[in-house]
Amino acid sequence: MANFAYLARDAQGRQVTGTLEGVSQAAVVGELQSRGLAPVRVNEAAAAPARRRGVPTARLAAAYRQLADLLRAGVPLLRSLRLLARSKSHRGLAEAMGVVADAVADGERLGDAMAAMPEVFPGVQVAMIRAGERGGFLDQVLARLGDFLEKQSEMRGKVLGNLIYPAVLLTVGLGLVVAALVFFVPKFADLFQDMQLPLATRILLGLSAFFVGWWPLLLVVAVAAVAGWFSIRRRPRVRRAVAVGQLRLPGIGAILRHLAVARFCRTLGTLLENGIPMIAAMQISRDAAGQVLLAEAIDEAIEAVRAGDSLAHPLAASGLFTEDTVEMISVGESANNLPEVLVGIADGAERRIDSLLAILVRLMEPALLLLLAGLVMFIFLALVVPMMQMGSEL
């Protein structure tokens, strides 16, 4: 017996999907027909080319641009999808496009086919593609979607790229300090055993003995802490507490606030530009914001918009938006050009992020170097001072 995934239509023509167990594909087809369903596609579940991992944002952006170019050149949608499915640039993306092409060949809309693989095509992208299909401007939507994803990829790359060097510097420096405490400092313990040691030396030897003697406990505590964090990090109260704490961090809090605002404004502006209704666009943007406090503010803004009020006031109450940003949103609502204003706000927020990141990295590098130099100097003096005392007593 094997599991088969099927797509069928009922008597009213509605699509029905699911899985059935059967000895063969023909047996499953017969079972579906006995239930009054017309099978469209039946595949063995183990052999179905479903994609379970995500695709890099830059790859998706390039694929959407390529699909838009093919459609503008007059290539039919199904043939365009088949071409992308034969691409060798990224295996996972090619497999996903193959699944989408099969679904489109069976009569599904492009947006519905992509919605079946949320791990590859998030809700933001599916909503834009569905709007493009309904409005008859799919090629334009795909091109805008490519630009949108490219902006996201560039911003993520800038943030990570600026933080790589400080992270490597801190990791290597702390690793060297721990190695010195474990392998180098213990060799002096016997030498200083009968001496009256300075406080710094006693602290150093105590830390070394702790790391050497209690490393199994430290390892267990570290593993337990990581496991505990992963088990509770998705709880609403924990996520909110972490979000509040992150925004209070000097320097980093401002960057995270601008990142959340840029992501929300670019997503909402792009959705509105592509014909998504305001409420639906805000709900999708809420899920894409990635910040708990901003999500709460968006929920309040959704209720305000439903009641006919302004979008700007609930966003201003969150404290995440500056006064000039709120004023721009308010003017955009009044002038009926909110999508363009939101995209402009996102561009401005990303420029501020670039500036803040540059300043933060310039400050972090010397601060980390001074910290590591201070630790090394502490170890050196804590060991040298007792040895100098020993030399003076001889």
pLDDT digits 0-9 by tens, 246-278: 888 887 888 888 888 888 888 888 888 888 888
Least confident residue range of 37-51, 119-133, 157-171, 230-244: 37-51
Q: Which two tokens stand for residue 56?
A: 């890099």
Q: Selecting from 1.10.490, 3.30.1490, 1.10.10, 3.10.20, what CATH number does the domain 2-47 have? A: 3.10.20
Round to whole Å and give the CA distance between 311 and 131: 22
Round to whole Å and give the CA distance between 344 and 269: 9
Enter the pTM of the model: 0.67
- Biggest alpha carbon–alpha carbon distance for the chain: 103
pLDDT at 68: 92
User: Any idea where the domains of the chain sit in the sequence?
Assistant: 2-47, 57-146, 147-394
* CA nearest to 357, candidates 165, 151, 152, 171: 165
Look up residue 111 and give its amino acid: G
Look up residue 23 and give its amino acid: V
Domain 57-146: give its CATH code. Answer: 1.20.81.30
State in Å, rounded, how far the first CA of the chain is from the last one: 87
Round to whole Å and give the CA distance between 95 and 110: 15
Mean local confidence (pLDDT), 322-338: 89
- The structure tokens 């502006």 sit at 269
**Per-residue pLDDT reduced to its tens digit, 56-89:** 888 889 999 999 999 999 999 999 999 998 887 7
Round to whole Å and give the CA distance between 79 and 90: 19
